[in-house]
Amino acid sequence: MGCTFSGLNAFYDAVNSGGDVWINENRFRIVRQLGEGGFAYVFLVKEVLADTSSDAVQSGLRKKFKDSTHLSDDGSYALKKVLIQNNEQLELVKEEIRVSSLFSHPNLLPLLDHAIIATKPTQERSWNHEAYLLFPVHLDGTLLDNAKTMKGKKEFFSTSDVLQIFRQLCAGLKHMHNFDPPYAHNDIKPGNVLITRRKGQPPLAILMDFGSARPARRQISSRSEALQLQEWASEHCSAPFRAPELWDCASHSDVDERTDIWSLGCTLYAIMYGVSPFEYVLGESGGSLQLAIVNVQIKWPAGPTPPYPEALHQFVKWMLQPQAAVRPHIDDIVIHVDKLISKFSN
**What amino acid positions are annotated as catalytic residues?**
187
Q: Roughly what angle, to the nearest 10 degrees, separates helices 258-273 and 143-153?
A: 30
Which residues partner with 166 through β-bridges? Answer: none
* Cβ contact 28:20 at 8 Å: yes
Q: Report the amino acid identity of residue 174.
A: K
How many Cα atoms within 13 Å fall on the side-chain side of residue 72? 19
**What amino acid is encoded at 103 in this protein?**
F
- Of the candidates 179, 150, 184, 175, the residue with the CA atom closest to the CA atom of residue 275: 150
CA 72 – CA 162 distance, rounded (Å): 27
H or E stretch covering 268: helix 258-273
Question: What distance in Å separates the CA atoms of residue 244 and residue 290, rounded to the nearest whole number?
Answer: 8
Residue 20's DSSP bridge partners are 29
User: Shortest CA distance to 28 belongs to which of 9, 6, 44, 39?
Assistant: 44
Contacts of 143 (CB under 8 A, 6+ apart): 165, 190, 191, 193, 194, 195, 205, 267, 270, 271
